[in-house]
Structure 1
Amino acid sequence: MSASASLSHRVKALTVSNPLVEHFKTALFVYVLLTRLLKVHRHLRARGLRSTALEYWTWLNKQLLLFALRVLPAQRKKAESEIAAAKKIIETSLIPKGEAVVRHTSLPPQGQSPAWILDEMTKMDNEIGHAEWKNGKISGAVYHGGDDLTKVIVDAYAHYAVSNPLHPDVFPAVRKMEAEVVAMCLRMFNNPNGAGATTSGGTESIIMSVKTHRDWARATKGITEPEMIVPISAHAAFDKAAAYFNIKVHTIPINMTTRQVDLSRVARAINANTIMLVGSAVNFPDGCQDDIVALGKLAAKRHVGLHVDCCLGSFIMPFLEAAGFPTTPFDFRVEGVTAISCDTHKYGFAPKGNSVIMYRNAELRTYQYYVNPTWMGGLYASPSIAGSRPGSLIAGTWAAMQYMGSEGYLESCRTIVGAAQEIARRIKAEFDGKLYVLGNPPATVVAFASRDPRVSIHEVGDIMSKKGWHLNGIINPNAIHIAATRLTVPVVDTFIADLKDAVRESISSPSGHGTMVQLYGMGKVAGALAPSITGQIATAFLDTLYKA
């Protein structure tokens, strides 16, 4: 026997005969097994056996159907035809056609004059067209504070067009205005001694809060496999943040009557890896508010964060009580609330591209920051995702808030919520039970669905589109929502009249197809493949945005 073979034999013999090694291997196996079992237990406890089984059944169905499409050419061709047709609809609706359309895909040899630029913009508006948003037939999207306020914002833009908050020593006035915007929002949400930062919008505010709670939990609790608990009605930005930061999400169902998250399921889902809970005030799909007080009690008891998404509620929710509308607590007065997001560019009427993320205290906010003290370019520190930021947006936001003031926002809340409640009341009273309002929305969003099997609510949405309305179709259940704005206030009667006509038409002349139906129903071929196929179509939509 060679020396190497002899050594190998002795090592093997020692390994086999050494009880310590065997005990270590056994302990390692038990540890891995228990760790896996603990994860399975937590998952089952959070999702429930039925939901977990449904998840795996859906996944298996998807895999089988994808396999069938690969091996059955006829079915694959049919699915590809459906996808191609949907892509064509998207491109037709977004990309202008015709010989009259001039495309600017390279720099002009010489710079154009200001007069030419304005003239070309006017031509694009006239030739390509855009939604007539000033007629009030648009759900949300445009939060117009009036032409006088627009002029105030544009003047602020012009004054600070080249400013950049990344350099506060160069632009100290912008730094001051940003701090004051945050301070005003904190006071509005009853936490004047709290802390916050501005962001580019609600999605970034939510992403920053998730990042903050993740880093806080890692630093203070040693959590390395973070999880968060999110109502199924919460904004998709929470899932986006989880995808970015590798956080497991437990999606919790809602009570279909109240439209609030199931609190017993939330409590059951909390475990040692939970970093935060989420509640909405109000949510996007149906405009309802979760029970923030109850969520706060759970968060405080279990020492986890609670983010209240008030992006859509923004400058409406803080004024509800003073405006005389019923309200339940949702802000920093609620024990357990650690963060609130608020979009100033919605009902605050600030320019698009501004939101505020607020924290209970400055210590928590530090976990949002990124600091690199060893970069060769010098000490680098930024409060949020962006480095350079447009100071003009901050100036416009500050100007809008100064222009409106508390009285302005109070009156705005009173008229807009009044319009939304009038729409809800008339849907309940004037449609002979064919339609019903989802939950009990307290603010500006009203979602409604069909009780009548003859009425396809998304087809109603298609008909409303032909009448010039731009509404939002939602699913689970199929419904439509309208987010009332200042522009909606004078057209409530028109909306109800058009909705009655649309319901009658959907019964008398059902088409079974249309833009909203295709977008949310995905046709007969899609069926159980809807998530994967709609994913492809969503990707095609994003690609189309960048086709010149």
Structure 2
Amino acid sequence: MNLLENNKNLFKDIFIGAVLFSYLSKAAREIYIYGVAHSIRSVFKGFSRRALLLLTSLPWTKKQIDDELNSALSDLDSKMVIRDPSLPTHHQLPTIGHDKHSVHQQLSSLANIPHSRWEDGRVSGAVYYGDSGDINDVIIEAFSRFSVSNPLHPDVFPGIRAMEAQVVSMVLNMYNAPQDAAGTTTSGGTESILLACLAYRNWSRQTQGVSHPEMVVPETAHAAFSKASFYFGITLRRVPVDPHTRKASLKHVKRAINGNTCMLVASAPNFPDGNVDDIVEMGALAKRYKVGLHGRVVLAYTHSNSHSSVDCCLGSFIMPFLQSAGFATTPFDFRVNGVTSISCDTHKYGFAPKGSSVIMYANKTWRSFQYYSQPDWTGGVYASPTLAGSRPGALIAGTWAVLTHVGVDGYVRSCGEIVRARQRIQRAIETDYQADLAVMGQPLGSVVAFTSVNPALNIYTVGDLLHEKGFSLNAVANPPALHIACTRPTVAAVDDILSSLRWAVDQAKSRTFGKEDEGSMVALYGVGSSTAIGPDLVDYLARGFLDTMYVVS
């Protein structure tokens, strides 16, 4: 009996010891990566968040918070959902189908709903080539000829198979890929990133025996990496960026790498402020520690077990043409040792129709880890290269048509015009707004972000005032800032942008704003940074916003 009791106590001690060791190991790792001060702040923030969540769940506070949030969602609904009885609205299929003329009229009504004037260069990103007749014409022609096509059936639509292969080849060539490089088209930058993360996760599991893969991601990297972490069970090791250069902190990247790391991430450029990470040094770390490097163009290069990923979705058809257009550049593509994958959005500065991107790998082996195959399905052998099964061949045809129509000369010319527009905006901010605004880092491509250096100036108020004037700039956080991704329509609108920015800054400094005067940018991002549970409240509002997208007026 005593022996049994002793064994129970032994097992109990072993279990408690194992749990304590696990927690202490995690704590030690956090301290090693982020330092003592940051780790203490994180613990305090975590406790504060839990305490506030508990407090706000109490009946007398929960109702008040729910009322505030529901009021915000109601306001969002009133702004987003068009309730105009003259617009076509269908809650169910028409009993009798409408004739072609009626459908055309309804489409015209929906196209003419008042909107932010991207045509006048007043929108950051979104539409990259403007109302270019030639580009629209070739897209419409491609859509018309291949509207029923589906690359899932290459024997039925051989032209689509050929065009998809050529699109991938053209983009690989732009990024100076090695001879054995490979890739696929995808539905956009998010899917390209998801597939890169999936490939590295599968590689680490199948070839390295890693059961809990991790990826090291700068805090400025695209949110799609967090999405991949959520979808695929990859632990996200988020590392800070240098506050001045806005590049990933190599010291923290190095500390975050361990035996479970399956990929490093770099951006060329990042979305929040348009700066390019030090991809040469990131590639060197990937090689040294034998992990992958992905960049958000996406850059990929394989040597032994090393791999790193470059996200160049936003850099797309700007970064590869900077040098030819006469601008300074930095190494970012497959020529960088250690880069194993790159994502590139053809539907941004490649001007292809929306829903078009390319994920590239340094060799075919890497690409194979994103494939899915089920050889024993009762419906026959099933295999797909990307997340989707059926895909719109018309998009592939439209992408091929635009790439071949614009060509290198067109993209070099476009790059020159767009980057010069960004430079004009940046120079004006640096010279005319020194007491109020500061550019973040030293962007190379099409994006410039600026923050307030005047404690009395709320940058989000500037954004809301610009919105009143019909502009739509992107709000970014940590630190609070605005950014504009310059496009072809921006080129002709720089003077308009700068004069409106001057008006907005002057108004924000001279006017007194009460609660009732707050715009949506101030309200949303103010809530997000107000308390430890601010992000939870914003999450609730963001999900409510998504619900609003599916409301029929």
TM class, shorter-length: over 0.9
Compared with structure 1, are the counterparts of its residues 109 and 305 closer, same or farther at alpha carbon in structure 2 (3 Å cutoff)? same
Q: Distance in 2 between matches of 1:432 and 1:510?
A: 22
- The residue number in structure 1 matching 2:522 is 517
Q: Is the 8 A contact 1:183 1:192 kept in 2?
A: no
The alpha-carbon deviation at position 27 of structure 1 amounts to: 7.2
The alpha-carbon deviation at position 530 of structure 1 amounts to: 1.0
- The residue number in structure 2 matching 1:205 is 192
Q: Distance in 2 between matches of 1:72 and 1:160?
A: 58
Compared with structure 1, are the counterparts of its residues 478 and 510 closer, same or farther at alpha carbon in structure 2 (3 Å cutoff)? farther
Find the structure with the greater CA-based Rg.
1
Q: Distance in 2 between matches of 1:369 and 1:203?
A: 17
- The residue number in structure 2 matching 1:50 is 37
Letter in 2 for 1:291: D
- The residue number in structure 1 matching 2:118 is 133
The alpha-carbon deviation at position 68 of structure 1 amounts to: 1.5
Q: Is the 8 A contact 2:325 2:416 kept in 1?
A: yes
- The residue number in structure 1 matching 2:235 is 248
The alpha-carbon deviation at position 338 of structure 1 amounts to: 0.8
- The residue number in structure 1 matching 2:169 is 183
The alpha-carbon deviation at position 321 of structure 1 amounts to: 1.2
Q: Deviations over 1:431-487 (max 9, x none)?
A: 243111000010000101111222211111111111111110111111110100000
Q: Distance in 2 between matches of 1:81 and 1:528?
A: 20
Q: Deviations over 1:476-520 (max 9, x none)?
A: 111110100000001111111110111111111132511211121
- The residue number in structure 1 matching 2:270 is 283
- The residue number in structure 1 matching 2:108 is 122
The alpha-carbon deviation at position 125 of structure 1 amounts to: 3.3
The alpha-carbon deviation at position 47 of structure 1 amounts to: 3.3
- The residue number in structure 2 matching 1:330 is 332
- The residue number in structure 2 matching 1:398 is 400
Question: Which region of structure 1 is more displaced relative to structure 2, 84-93 or 495-504?
Answer: 84-93
Compared with structure 1, are the counterparts of its residues 25 and 84 closer, same or farther at alpha carbon in structure 2 (3 Å cutoff)? closer
The alpha-carbon deviation at position 192 of structure 1 amounts to: 4.6
Q: Is the 8 A contact 2:151 2:160 kept in 1?
A: yes
- The residue number in structure 2 matching 1:7 is none
Q: Is the 8 A contact 1:46 1:250 kept in 2?
A: no
- The residue number in structure 2 matching 1:158 is 144
Q: Distance in 2 between matches of 1:76 and 1:25?
A: 41
Letter in 2 for 1:135: D
The 5-angstrom pairing of residues 5-154 of structure 1 reads: 34=21, 36-71=23-58, 73=60, 75-126=61-112, 128-144=113-129, 146-154=132-140
Letter in 1 for 2:403: M
Q: Distance in 2 between matches of 1:23 and 1:535?
A: 45
Compared with structure 1, are the counterparts of its residues 98 and 170 closer, same or farther at alpha carbon in structure 2 (3 Å cutoff)? closer
Q: Distance in 1 between matches of 2:410 and 2:78?
A: 41
Q: Distance in 1 between matches of 2:492 and 2:100?
A: 37
The alpha-carbon deviation at position 63 of structure 1 amounts to: 1.6
Q: Is the 8 A contact 2:213 2:234 kept in 1?
A: yes
Q: Distance in 2 between matches of 1:157 and 1:171?
A: 14
Q: Deviations over 1:380-414 (max 9, x none)?
A: 10011000000000000000000010111011111
The alpha-carbon deviation at position 252 of structure 1 amounts to: 0.6
Compared with structure 1, are the counterparts of its residues 523 and 46 closer, same or farther at alpha carbon in structure 2 (3 Å cutoff)? closer
- The residue number in structure 1 matching 2:546 is 542
Partner SS for 1:528: coil
Question: Which region of structure 1 is more displaced relative to structure 2, 372-381 or 34-43?
Answer: 34-43
Report the identity percentage: 48
CA RMSD of aligned residues (A): 2.0
Q: Is the 8 A contact 2:418 2:446 kept in 1?
A: yes
Q: Is the 8 A contact 1:213 1:305 kept in 2?
A: yes
Q: Is the 8 A contact 2:247 2:277 kept in 1?
A: yes
Compared with structure 1, are the counterparts of its residues 421 and 206 closer, same or farther at alpha carbon in structure 2 (3 Å cutoff)? same
Partner SS for 2:185: strand
The alpha-carbon deviation at position 291 of structure 1 amounts to: 0.5
- The residue number in structure 1 matching 2:480 is 478
- The residue number in structure 1 matching 2:349 is 347
- The residue number in structure 1 matching 2:500 is 498
The alpha-carbon deviation at position 163 of structure 1 amounts to: 0.4
Partner SS for 2:429: helix
The alpha-carbon deviation at position 51 of structure 1 amounts to: 2.6
**Residues 1:298 and 2:285 aligned together:** yes
Q: Is the 8 A contact 1:46 1:270 kept in 2?
A: no
Partner SS for 2:108: helix
The 5-angstrom pairing of residues 454-469 of structure 1 reads: 454-469=456-471
Q: Is the 8 A contact 1:258 1:440 kept in 2?
A: yes
Letter in 2 for 1:207: L
Compared with structure 1, are the counterparts of its residues 414 and 29 closer, same or farther at alpha carbon in structure 2 (3 Å cutoff)? same
Q: Is the 8 A contact 1:42 1:271 kept in 2?
A: no
Q: Distance in 1 between matches of 2:6 and 2:250?
A: 55
* Counterpart pick for 2:260 among 273, 296, 321: 273
* Counterpart pick for 1:530 among 530, 534, 544: 534
Q: Deviations over 1:110-136 (max 9, x none)?
A: 11111111101222334x322221111
The alpha-carbon deviation at position 328 of structure 1 amounts to: 0.9
- The residue number in structure 1 matching 2:383 is 381
Letter in 2 for 1:64: A
The alpha-carbon deviation at position 103 of structure 1 amounts to: 1.8
Q: Distance in 1 between matches of 2:33 and 2:374?
A: 37
Q: Is the 8 A contact 1:450 1:457 kept in 2?
A: yes
Q: Distance in 2 between matches of 1:150 and 1:172?
A: 24
Q: Distance in 1 between matches of 2:504 and 2:546?
A: 31
- The residue number in structure 1 matching 2:301 is none
Q: Is the 8 A contact 1:205 1:356 kept in 2?
A: yes
Letter in 2 for 1:67: L
Q: Distance in 2 between matches of 1:240 and 1:366?
A: 21
Letter in 2 for 1:140: G
Q: Distance in 2 between matches of 1:184 and 1:357?
A: 12
The alpha-carbon deviation at position 147 of structure 1 amounts to: 1.8
Structure 1 gaps of 5+ residues are 1-11
The alpha-carbon deviation at position 33 of structure 1 amounts to: 5.5
- The residue number in structure 1 matching 2:213 is 226
Partner SS for 1:230: strand
Q: Deviations over 1:29-59 (max 9, x none)?
A: 7666655544443333233333333222222
- The residue number in structure 1 matching 2:305 is none
Q: Distance in 2 between matches of 1:24 and 1:129?
A: 69
Q: Distance in 2 between matches of 1:437 and 1:348?
A: 26
Compared with structure 1, are the counterparts of its residues 28 and 178 closer, same or farther at alpha carbon in structure 2 (3 Å cutoff)? same
Q: Is the 8 A contact 1:282 1:289 kept in 2?
A: yes
The alpha-carbon deviation at position 28 of structure 1 amounts to: 7.3
- The residue number in structure 1 matching 2:303 is none
